[in-house]
Structure 1
Amino acid sequence: MPENLRITAPVGSDGKVTRPNSTPETPRTQPVNPGRVPQAGGQKTDGGQRELLLARDSVFGAFIRRWEQTPGLGETLQRLASMAAAGPQAPGRTLPADAPPLQRLAAALTMERGDIVKNLVFQQENGTLFSGPLFRYLDRLSGRADDPQLDLRIADFLRAFTGCFSAGEVRQSILNNLRAVEASIPAVYARKLQAAQEKLPPEDASPGAFAEAVKKEILPLLSRYVARTNDYGKSRDAISLLINNLAILETGSRKDLVARFEELLRYCRTGLNLPEEEAGRMQGLFAQEVLSRQAEPENEFSRALASLLSRAGRRGEGESEGLDPAAVRDICTSVLLDHSVFMPFVHLFLPASVGGRFLFTEIWIEKKDAEAPPAPRGEAGVRPVRLYLTFDIQDLGYFEASVSLTGKRADLHLACPPALARRRGEIRADLAGILQRDGLAPGSVRLTSCREPEVPKIIRKKIDERKRAIDVSV
């Protein structure tokens, strides 16, 4: 019997139960991360912050891993361009509209010396959607006013501008989203989705009509699918992108664009007391920007490369033309990484065939750091603009250059192949003459031998230095 009796707490004279104090559990000891321990003397280390930024689930860490794993354009695009230049070419540079994309790219690569500069300038001026005089004016106005209400109205205008002049790309993105949904849902629902897509209007229909058809034919079907299956897999991600692109397309009418601009202009007049002269200038810049968007900018290389990548990305078409799908994906990934918010450079690239000699050029232009300290007084308040160049010339070798522009002064460091070491004096004089012809005052012009590529290391270091700053240019 005694072993069946349950032991209870004793009852005191006041009738209350006295419970013994339980021994508290010893807390578990967590391992100490040395990178997060402050150093002696109050000096803190950046190890903890760096580990946090490079964590597996951080956005910056994912960007760095993808950037390091993706081959550079110097490997992928250069190989593709050299293959195009070595392939059969049609006589003359005027090709029929149905010419193979690789042949069109080969024709676009044949350039004169002046064409190289024109192509690079085109890339710089058209690198973002908002690169015209109007957007530079709005950027200066926003920085001068420092008004959150103005920034909200500018954001509404930019959203309407994007939808208005990117309707074709957004429509194609919606169709790609539908194909992604179709590939990730059961066959019975995929067949219903295919039947619904056949009811969408043709390509020449207005963006508004296309958006209304998607809302009427596609969204109810997807809504019923999600409600019945509760699918949180790949299809849900594709549906989310579809809804986002549809919202962009709905704000893409000319009427909405004009309404957003008039609202912005009205606030500038009443909220910022913008003079009528400035308001008239702003209206003129808007009209100029709209007219310039009527015709797509002409550039043979950009059009040929975009057509080739778009066609090669479709299932089976790239392989039928002898293209490596993995190389095409790497090229597209490299271009997308160049436009990441973590990339502190404007990246220009150009393969070309000049005088029967193939060359591949890459230029990295350092973006302006808004949080950088002011320039030293000795430089008259002008902060240097730094450029890094690499160019691989057939039969000559690999070159690297770093240029620092401070006002009209240019400091240049050129690393040449070892075979050209005997001609350093001649090359230095030619470079100084080129700078003078371009209206620049030559500073220090230094030449060394290029033993191994250094520019990729500099780019990686600059990305790491500005890891806490992002650039949201579109």
Structure 2
Amino acid sequence: MPDNLRITPPVTNNENINKIPITKQPGPMTPIDPSKVVQPNTDKQGDTNARFEFLLNRNSVFSKFLEQLNQTPALSETLQKFTFEAFSRPENVHDNRSAALFMKELTAAMKMESADILKNLTFQSNNRTKFTGSIFDVLRNTLNEYPGDRNLEQAISDFLKAYDGYFSTADTTQTIAKELDTLSHQIPNSYSKQLKELTEEVITDQPVKGLDLNLSVLKEKIIPLLSKYITASNDYGTARDTITLLVHNLARLNISSHQEVVETFTALLDYCKYELNLPEPKMNELKSMFLKTVTEASQKPANPLFDSLMKVLSENMKQSSSGVTQSLYRDTLTSLLLDNSVYMPFNHIFLPINYNGQFMFTEIWIEKENEKKKSGKGNAEAGGAPIHLYLTFDIKKLGYFEAAVSFSNGKADIQLNCPPSLEKDRRAISEKIGDIFTRNGLTAQSIELVTGKSAGTEKQILRKVYERKNVIDVTV
């Protein structure tokens, strides 16, 4: 019986005893008035919020891309300036500075005939990406035939990473060497001295042959030293940013061996053979395409205009002491990088030309293949999606031109905006345009000429860019 008694301490008369709170029943929910919802921080967004009101995540990659795009001048406002300077400046044979020598090379490369213009445009079109060739066309078609096959996508992705890494080994190694040199000036002398000694062990003159040794030095000596420094100093400054870039390039270099390319391609072939059941002739065709692509990629194509242009940009960034000049080259480089973003729905081609002593700067925007397919969903019966092309060219002493061309089944619709001074020549210009298309096997179905007001090519291009906020171009 006592075992069943509940024994508790006596209850005190203290009024401060914590009482068990009584759970209150929630009251009726008040409907939300949308007009009284707190508005976003429009002070920080400014005009950006007004133009991109549907962009909910202001920290997204696409939002950052648009922000950079809005802050960077157009390529025609930057690249055209110093290419025209190269065209118009007198040559000084006694100026032996490397930047001046590169400007002379650029001036010579800009002198073109009609055949040279076509050759340079074709070079940019064919070499706008490393993944150009028959093997990559077949891989794209295979992905389209097996949509949603994640294993196939992973196998192709691994191969592309290894392929890109292998044929970028020299550039990646040079970049790592520059980052190590920069880092040696950002960390204390006690660590800087050790880093410089280890950097001397990195082979930069023969990066492909010295890949294994470089990886060993980087992973077993340099990275542990930097890890020790970060642990001791807890550095979150510029040195930490440089180390982040260094690790990124090291990861890229780590999959850059010839063996990695062969192994990933072999794994891709095995998947196509055993999982997709591709026939043996198709497999042999893939192997021969791969060998041909690797052989061609090892022979880096050369283009005097493009090579001299890249030399001028990189050299002037290092040597120029003028803030305005530095900004000009930096904006030019940023524009070129933005043109290669996955959010750009166009392939962009540019060309500064000295044609018969006349300077012309032209830009061409060609709609990407995936955009063409989307725009032509309802045009399948008419023979496929039309190809859209936008063209601008600025001829000194003549004026600025814009054109929008739509190609479909060998027929073209052309809209051309000309300077007002050519108003009297509209008929002759229309006839010449028709002759140009006829000579190239096309029919100028309609030609619309406008003089004076701009046709708004830039607005058309930007409108296409803004449509990318919900779509990512993953073509390679």
Task: Please tell me the TM-score bracket, short chain as reference.
Answer: 0.7 to 0.9
Q: 2:288 aligns with which of 284, 291, 306?
A: 284
**1:167-316 pair list within 5 angstroms:** 167-205=169-207, 206=209, 207-314=211-318
Q: Report the counterpart of residue 121 of structure 1 in structure 2.
A: 122
Secondary structure class of the residue paired with 1:358: strand
1:9 touches 1:19 (CA, 8 Å); kept in 2? no
Note the residue ranges of structure 2 that are not aligned, 5 or more in a row.
1-12, 41-48
Q: Distance in 1 between matches of 2:428 and 2:473?
A: 41
Q: Report the counterpart of residue 14 of structure 1 in structure 2.
A: none
2:402 touches 2:454 (CA, 8 Å); kept in 1? no
Q: 2:431 aligns with which of 429, 432, 457?
A: 429
Alignment pair present for 1:438 and 2:440 = yes
Compute the displacement of 1:233 (Å): 3.5
Give deviations 1:263-311, integer Å, cap 9, x for gaps. 2112211111111111111111111101111211121111111111222
Comparing 371-380 and 169-178, the one that deviates more:
371-380
**1:300-379 pair list within 5 angstroms:** 300-314=304-318, 317-319=319-321, 324-369=325-370, 372=374, 374-377=376-379
2:166 touches 2:257 (CA, 8 Å); kept in 1? yes
Q: Distance in 2 between matches of 1:98 and 1:180?
A: 22
Secondary structure class of the residue paired with 1:444: strand
Give deviations 1:72-118, integer Å, cap 9, x for gaps. 11111111101111223489xxx9x9971111111111111221121
Q: Distance in 2 between matches of 1:291 and 1:184?
A: 41
Code of the aligned partner of 2:139: L
Alignment pair present for 1:383 and 2:388 = no
**1:36-55 pair list within 5 angstroms:** 50-51=52-53, 53=55, 55=57
Secondary structure class of the residue paired with 1:447: strand
Q: Distance in 2 between matches of 1:72 and 1:115?
A: 25
Secondary structure class of the residue paired with 1:127: coil
Q: What is the TM-score when the length of structure 2 is the normalising length?
A: 0.85
1:399 touches 1:415 (CA, 8 Å); kept in 2? yes
Q: 1:345 to 1:19 in 2, by over 3 A?
A: closer
Compute the displacement of 1:248 (Å): 1.8
Q: Distance in 2 between matches of 1:396 and 1:24?
A: 76
1:375 touches 1:381 (CA, 8 Å); kept in 2? no
Q: 1:216 to 1:444 in 2, by over 3 A?
A: same
Compute the displacement of 1:340 (Å): 1.1
Compute the displacement of 1:149 (Å): 1.4
Q: What is the TM-score when the length of structure 1 is the normalising length?
A: 0.86
CA RMSD of aligned residues (A): 3.2
Q: Percent identity?
A: 38
Give deviations 1:42-80, integer Å, cap 9, x for gaps. xxxxx9994462654222222112111111111111111
Q: Report the counterpart of residue 40 of structure 1 in structure 2.
A: none
Q: 1:105 to 1:154 in 2, by over 3 A?
A: same
Compute the displacement of 1:200 (Å): 2.1
Q: Report the counterpart of residue 10 of structure 2 in structure 1.
A: none
Comparing 457-466 and 404-413, the one that deviates more:
457-466
Code of the aligned partner of 2:256: G
Code of the aligned partner of 1:287: L
Compute the displacement of 1:459 (Å): 1.2
Secondary structure class of the residue paired with 2:76: coil
Q: Distance in 1 between matches of 2:451 and 2:51?
A: 38
Secondary structure class of the residue paired with 1:74: helix
Q: Distance in 1 between matches of 2:189 and 2:296?
A: 46
Q: Report the counterpart of residue 420 of structure 1 in structure 2.
A: 422
Q: 1:79 to 1:308 in 2, by over 3 A?
A: same
Q: 1:33 to 1:452 in 2, by over 3 A?
A: farther
2:359 touches 2:395 (CA, 8 Å); kept in 1? yes
1:171 touches 1:249 (CA, 8 Å); kept in 2? yes
Give deviations 1:139-184, integer Å, cap 9, x for gaps. 1012112322121111111111011111111112212332443354
Secondary structure class of the residue paired with 2:369: coil
Q: Distance in 1 between matches of 2:295 and 2:72?
A: 39
Q: 1:373 to 1:453 in 2, by over 3 A?
A: closer
1:312 touches 1:323 (CA, 8 Å); kept in 2? no
Q: 1:374 to 1:330 in 2, by over 3 A?
A: closer
Note the residue ranges of structure 1 that are not aligned, 5 or more in a row.
11-16, 36-46
Give deviations 1:414-469, integer Å, cap 9, x for gaps. 00000001100000011011111111121111100142461111111111122211
